[in-house]
Amino acid sequence: MEENKIKNCRLVIIGGSAGSLNALMQILPGLKKLNDFAIVIVLHRKSTDDQTLEELLILKSKVAVKPIEDKTLLIAGFVYIAPSNYHLLFEKDETIALDISEKINYSRPSIDVSFESAAEIYGSSLVGILFSGSNTDGTEGLKAIQAHGGKIIVQNPLVADMPFMPNNAILFTTPDFILNNNEILNLLNSINH
């Protein structure tokens, strides 16, 4: 892997379901300063007001972590966490709108909805990463990111707790990278440096 293959990145969007938290716990503690980009994390989660996920990620990350509220302005240097029970819609003014329309792939937030919306706004300055999970959510979103000129990364199914989601993405897309967790961390730390 050439570390300098991803340049001019303004947003990294990460999607995952069952088993993704383990990968994030391996990546977030080693994440260095995000110079010119933000990270948005979209995980399938129970529809509650429980803030345990946010609290855990805040504790584990050296980079500042913020929960997303309606009309949150994305600022480079921060990691943002999607709330439960809302789809994320990215706006041209670099804010995120929360949407409560029907579930997609049995999920809200839907990774596909978030990836597709981000692709329309960020185009070639977007990187999409898909982690572990047990359904097909994320594959169509990765296609949209690639169609808009962005880069797509899929977690190596051999290291995923639930390999179905990354396997499905590999089957139906052509990822720019298929990486182990430590390789994803190295790539994130190399962006825009």
From CA 44, how far away is CA 106, in angstroms rounded? 9
Candidates 87, 114, 132, 137; catalytic one = 137
From CA 98, how far away is CA 13, in angstroms rounded? 16
193 carries an active-site annotation:
no
Residues whose CB falls within 8 Å of the CB of residue 70, separated by 6 or more in sequence, listed in order = 96, 97, 98
Residues whose CB falls within 8 Å of the CB of residue 63, separated by 6 or more in sequence, listed in order = 28, 31, 32, 33, 34, 39, 77, 78, 79
From CA 22, how far away is CA 18, in angstroms rounded? 9
Q: How many helices (H) and strands (E) does the chain have?
A: 6, 10
Candidates 44, 61, 112, 114; catalytic one = 44
107 carries an active-site annotation:
no
Instruction: Report the DSSP pairing between strands 151-155 and 126-130.
Output: parallel
137 carries an active-site annotation:
yes
Candidates 17, 61, 114, 117; catalytic one = 17
In the block, residue with structure tokens 């960020």? 122
Q: Which residues are known to be catalytic?
A: 17, 44, 137
